[in-house]
Structure 1
């Protein structure tokens, strides 16, 4: 259940300013601008099998359409009300108020006029000044507004009318999805929620209560339930049946992601994507299944005293996990984005290999493969709802489940865990207090919410390490455009991330804290947001976003050596703090250089990064001009290294959060022991990526599942068979 959010309502002047901002980033173009954009787009479409008169009409309509006409201001306000913490929403409200006054605009934009009263060139000049300001606070304003406005404009709602022109087909209708699922023999399991029996404050008894239904919690629940223990799984997010998911990107962000996909670090604005629904991160992650690298296992064994990671025990756990979620390395097909990546790696002389997948269908054009990040309506991915949660529900003593249940604290007495206190939405739609008494408490809320829960639970925390050691695998992106006439990339089609390069894994310092290079899946909303970072607001943005289907992307995923922190705010909610260290910046620059060279080797016509100072994609000489092209690539690489990563001047993302309840061999240097049990409270276990001693250096799903499997064996040894069996 999401925390209660104070009513948020913009005033008339704030709404006017917000609408003006939206219509500056995405304006209705004038005749001359429209003619220029139409001419450019028609020249690109001329060689395609399309009715050019229809393309022209659609392009004109797109040029004339403003953000206000698409309903973007209302969508932004609704997001502030639903997903943004009250203090952050209030801060944005103050900004809108300041931009609604002449005095405020003099301070913010250097002009003594309200933002809405300026003409469009004047408004664009103000935004350009914010983007290039020497003050990080002003750059933060620009990046926050741009990302939120463009995302809401193209991820759903009124922006869906533009999808066809962008070459984005969007999700299939539910009846076709259901038919595909039926033809493949996939049968949905409908989970029954305890909420339906709750009409008042309630107390219940279980052998084990598992908090969180993601990878760690699902494995714990399945292992314990199948061993005959009475298990209750509590999930703060909502359970959605397949028919309740639309596959629309914006709706998926609102429903399935933590805080609507708008979590970011408080001090640096690094965007953090995490699952926030039944099934946790497995409900929205990609299907890339990489085992924990051997050098990481050795590091955890030798430097952190966790010997089992270097033994067959952990290897056997990974084997068992891979078997259950159907990980395969054979017959993997690649979409166009991954094909270009593989081709570029091979031509550049860089290492590249197929990435194993936990997909039921890895063939070319597998239905639904490109939409697994928006809720797996096809059940093509072997996520937790298809595997371990289903196992728990089908156990001899079936596990029970509750959604929209926010656990406020773990209860404990004299160093022993006794259960949890929570607030649950009952069958009457009202919140009720839920008290669970249990012999074992398994915290599996993920690396953001697990430390927050432990901090709220007032554990002794004598070493002060709960919430510390936050690792994020920070990601930067290299984007490139294929030449006109080349096959479209359409990176949202087909399975994402089916190839990986470890060319940079050793890192510039040779310490195995380097980076991986992979390919993302980018749908219309996030894709348009990326384009906005490579273009100026207005005409240039509209012209470039029409090339979305021609864009190929490579992510640089850094194994961060240094760390941040999760802290509680005044409402007891987690806030993230993280700064990209000099060491990790060097690793990212190394990866960006190689990603640029890979893209160039694949034959793209233009390439760039998300660094604001570099602006639009850099056009390269044709492949036939070998020396000139090489010199242009070298020049871009030099500029990337020169610019670096000024605060709020580059887009950085995290989809992997780790380490905030660190596992170790000493109570002085860690939060839990090698069995996942808290050093200070017996019977309290942590079973998710928060126990990682360091960042894993690979997509962390398999590592999380493997650790959860090992932790569950210890819990089973500690729990005697239920006396009620």
Structure 2
């Protein structure tokens, strides 16, 4: 323990009573762990730095919601700048990380695209000679995926040939809509694969969720309570089973006892008081930035390079899915202001590796609506689709009105999620100067888009321009490698069986500290070319069930 930590510890107020498990983070993986551990009889306490989402406060209820999404509800914490967020130094990053502090985590602001990893995503090393294979495969995970999909209330059409056969989804697919059909007809003309989009948004009421009303405000919270978020689908059951959840609590350190076991955490409560919580087991679910940050903050004389970091990999191999998009405008009303912001059509036509293309691996395409008047000229909280040239001259006044009239309701947007290969140079470290509102060192990102990703995205943009033209687009717009798209924070605490080359084993147990676990996406060896929430939650359920089954063999503090 450093001198500063010792001084702080002397001022820390002890929490009353130890718990079996303390969980850091109340997002999708933390909620999965809390519910099923509590139902299995563990005493569980979860600490969340944000608060409970209030759907009455979501901007989608207000006429000015698109303006509010540009600042107060922006997914970039540096732009949003709330006290419960921590700042992130992105000076050396090509992509801004996007996240949300609160119960349910970033599911509050996600698009709810439900796209589990494909079988090849678990065998990248075997198939393509790069990155690493996972310690388990798609079929080992499938039963947990199907269980999670029932909880989440996934909507979709079964039988997508891109995936192996599985159980039917719990709710029928959402309507493809006119914009989705316009996007799909281009793929039909080219003979390319497409399938109705699968979304974590039920089409009928399910597990506390209401049926989707197609507001299209998903990326700033769902006022209808229809988008599947962990605060609705998991936390009520977790609390009913006895799990405790404290909000407004920011963890600054994981403590370790004389036997090298995690003994609990030190945190600031909602009133700013520093407290200590003792626990037999500690589980981190703070995402691919927050988790390595906390491990690095927890360095000590015993763990000089940070906790659970004998491999030297904590914070390295950050993957954020560089993203490009193509918008097509047609000469017909597609009502593309109508939601949801999930993907109405998905395609895996160019997902698997073909080295003749000049890159390894591939990408998923998702067709989405273009949104309201601001969405017609921008996307994802940025001015991505503004016309080229003088921004002030061409996007204000009469020029802006003409652009909106030409595009509003007439477009479809193809988003490209390209697989991001792990590189140790893309990493999270502690910033020497920047701190959060509690004075805790903030994370610093070093992330560069690779040549492989650049070539991949260019190829997919070119194919989608072909598809948009085949759909009858009279105008297209492209944004390449958008900066504000770092939703998917993966890979910074790699999973594997060799302690020399990984941080955790396949069960999320850290190699160095037997009772310290990581259940979030930071453990992913590879990123896939899909939105990762489905896989994050499924892996967390598999790991939680293993912990329950092995409870008698766990070395608890």
| Band of TM-score, shorter chain | 0.7 to 0.9
Runs of 4+ with deviation above 6 angstroms: 300-303
Q: 1:254 aligns with which of 72, 97, 114?
A: 72
2:219 corresponding residue in structure 1: 373
Q: 1:713 aligns with which of 545, 550, 557?
A: 545
2:165 corresponding residue in structure 1: none
Following the alignment from structure 2 to structure 1, what is the Cα–Cα distance between the partners of residues 290 and 29?
13
Task: For residue 654 of structure 1, give the secondary structure of its aligned residue in structure 2.
Answer: coil
Residues 278 and 602 (structure 1 numbering): CA distance in 2 closer, same or farther, change over 3 Å?
Answer: same
How far did residue 479 of structure 1 move? 2.2
1:408 corresponding residue in structure 2: 252
1:293 corresponding residue in structure 2: 118
How far did residue 696 of structure 1 move? 2.3
Q: 2:460 aligns with which of 591, 604, 608?
A: 591
Task: For residue 370 of structure 1, give the secondary structure of its aligned residue in structure 2.
Answer: coil
Task: For residue 588 of structure 1, give the secondary structure of its aligned residue in structure 2.
Answer: helix
Following the alignment from structure 1 to structure 2, what is the Cα–Cα distance between the partners of residues 659 and 537?
37
**Which whole-Å deviations, capped at 9, do the CAs of 1:552-598 have from their partners, x for residues lacking one?**
32112110124321121124211222111111111111111111111
1:568 corresponding residue in structure 2: 430
Residues 358 and 202 (structure 1 numbering): CA distance in 2 closer, same or farther, change over 3 Å?
Answer: same
**Native 8 Å contact 2:326 2:479 kept in 1:** yes
Say if 2:25 is the partner of 1:212: yes
How far did residue 488 of structure 1 move? 4.2
Alignment of 1:120-135 (within 5 A): none
**Which whole-Å deviations, capped at 9, do the CAs of 1:632-656 have from their partners, x for residues lacking one?**
xxxxxxxxxxxxx7xxxx6563321
1:449 corresponding residue in structure 2: 290
**Native 8 Å contact 1:369 1:380 kept in 2:** no
2:419 corresponding residue in structure 1: 559
**Native 8 Å contact 2:76 2:96 kept in 1:** no
How far did residue 239 of structure 1 move? 1.6
When the two structures are superposed, what TM-score results if normalisation uses the length of structure 1? Answer: 0.61
Alignment of 1:214-253 (within 5 A): 214-247=27-60, 248-249=65-66, 251=68
Residues 213 and 270 (structure 1 numbering): CA distance in 2 closer, same or farther, change over 3 Å?
Answer: same
When the two structures are superposed, what TM-score results if normalisation uses the length of structure 2? Answer: 0.79
Following the alignment from structure 1 to structure 2, what is the Cα–Cα distance between the partners of residues 502 and 487?
27
How far did residue 668 of structure 1 move? 0.9
Residues 306 and 368 (structure 1 numbering): CA distance in 2 closer, same or farther, change over 3 Å?
Answer: same
My pick for the range that moved more, 449-458 or 515-524, is 515-524
**Native 8 Å contact 1:410 1:421 kept in 2:** yes
Say if 2:385 is the partner of 1:385: no
Say if 2:262 is the partner of 1:417: yes
- Aligned residues between the structures: 476
My pick for the range that moved more, 212-221 or 559-568, is 559-568
**Native 8 Å contact 2:123 2:132 kept in 1:** no
Following the alignment from structure 2 to structure 1, what is the Cα–Cα distance between the partners of residues 552 and 224?
39
Task: For residue 231 of structure 2, give the secondary structure of its aligned residue in structure 1.
Answer: coil
Task: For residue 385 of structure 1, give the secondary structure of its aligned residue in structure 2.
Answer: helix
How far did residue 709 of structure 1 move? 0.5
**Native 8 Å contact 1:300 1:693 kept in 2:** no
How far did residue 355 of structure 1 move? 2.2
Task: For residue 393 of structure 1, give the secondary structure of its aligned residue in structure 2.
Answer: helix
**Native 8 Å contact 1:211 1:217 kept in 2:** yes
1:505 corresponding residue in structure 2: 351
Task: For residue 451 of structure 1, give the secondary structure of its aligned residue in structure 2.
Answer: helix
**Native 8 Å contact 1:223 1:392 kept in 2:** yes
Residues 670 and 270 (structure 1 numbering): CA distance in 2 closer, same or farther, change over 3 Å?
Answer: same
Following the alignment from structure 2 to structure 1, what is the Cα–Cα distance between the partners of residues 89 and 346?
26
Residues 311 and 602 (structure 1 numbering): CA distance in 2 closer, same or farther, change over 3 Å?
Answer: closer
Question: Which has the larger helix fraction?
Answer: 1
How far did residue 260 of structure 1 move? 5.4
Following the alignment from structure 1 to structure 2, what is the Cα–Cα distance between the partners of residues 305 and 465?
17
1:266 corresponding residue in structure 2: 91
Following the alignment from structure 1 to structure 2, what is the Cα–Cα distance between the partners of residues 206 and 512?
46
2:100 corresponding residue in structure 1: 275
2:147 corresponding residue in structure 1: 320
2:472 corresponding residue in structure 1: 603
Following the alignment from structure 2 to structure 1, what is the Cα–Cα distance between the partners of residues 351 and 287?
25
1:431 corresponding residue in structure 2: 272
1:80 corresponding residue in structure 2: none
Q: 2:201 aligns with which of 347, 354, 359?
A: 359
Q: Which has the higher contact order (CA 8 A, sep 6+)?
A: 2
How far did residue 318 of structure 1 move? 1.0
Can you give the 5+ residue segments of structure 2 that lack an aligned partner in the other structure?
Answer: 1-11, 81-87, 158-171, 206-210, 300-306, 436-440
